[in-house]
A and B are shown apart, each in its own frame.
Chain A
Amino acid sequence: MKVLIPSALESYTGKSEVDAEGENLGELFAALDRRFPGIRFRVIDEQDRLRRHMRCFVNGEQVFDLAQPLSAHDEVIIIQALSGG
């Protein structure tokens, strides 16, 4: 499936869009971390919670649960929430 990567994580992927597989959001991040070591922990903490200012959208819908099922035709967007300064 298509995964859009925020600029803050392009140091891991080298590009703003990658293809990756996973039966659910947790598996998707595990797959991303195998290819781009370290990327998962920047987005998901050690208790498997999305970090406070990170967001994931699947086909335009915001999701918070790593058990969220995914299919090959889904589009996942990882973004930084609008915050900071």
Chain B
Amino acid sequence: MKIVVCIKQVPATNDAKIDPETKRIVREGMKAILNPFDTYAVEEGVQLRDKFGGEVIALSMGPPKAEASLREAISVGVDRAILLSDRAFGGSDTWATSYALAKAIKKIGDIDLVICGKQAIDGDTAQVGPGIAAHLDWLQATYVMAVEEISSSSIRVKRMHEDGYDICEMSLPAVITVVKDINIPRVPSLKGRLASNKCEIPVWKPDDIGADTSKIGLNGSPTRVVKIQPPPPRHTSTKKIEGSSIECAQTLLRELRLRSIV
């Protein structure tokens, strides 16, 4: 089984700054991390490879420093990684990004399964995984919480939704996006981390993947961000519970139940 895991490097902050002109996140000088949802995609790819054999390849598009996130994926068991990086890719929206990733997936060739995190924590769009499926014209399942069965020609997954879950079966190749419930991502070992530092990560440019430059970067991005504003602050209040330990626990439980938290 040949699996591609698409990952993204995102700012390590909940307080991202937005460029008022471009309406884009200012990434310069900001600490970057592997998108947390993508760690579950990586882990699932590694687990499937361990179980069924084959190869798992991490793929990312971003500036040269995005290489660090690919190395992180290698440190937890991914076999190799590829970075799409070029000025021409800059400013791509989710449609242009998924186009470029799909072109790279085609170039890698013979892929059975593409796994993405359900969304990136910076854009929060959840569009790139489905976009890749659309560009490749493959079947897709989003919000996957379990891979129940997989063979050389089909996959059965459990999809999470607000009221429960669906069981979907589809033929391969396919794209899935995964949620946190799917696994517990492993923590990189020191050996894995040191080995990942020595790996060579090829950088592919638009020509390498046969991308039409009118379909990538700003030119290829139909999205127009008209306005950005922070969400209204949440109204929170603090309540002090007093009494004996038992009384406090009873009051807390009652309050939590009233709010349908437990």
Answer yes or no: do A and B interact: no
Residues of A within 8 A of B (CB): none
Residues of B within 8 A of A (CB): none
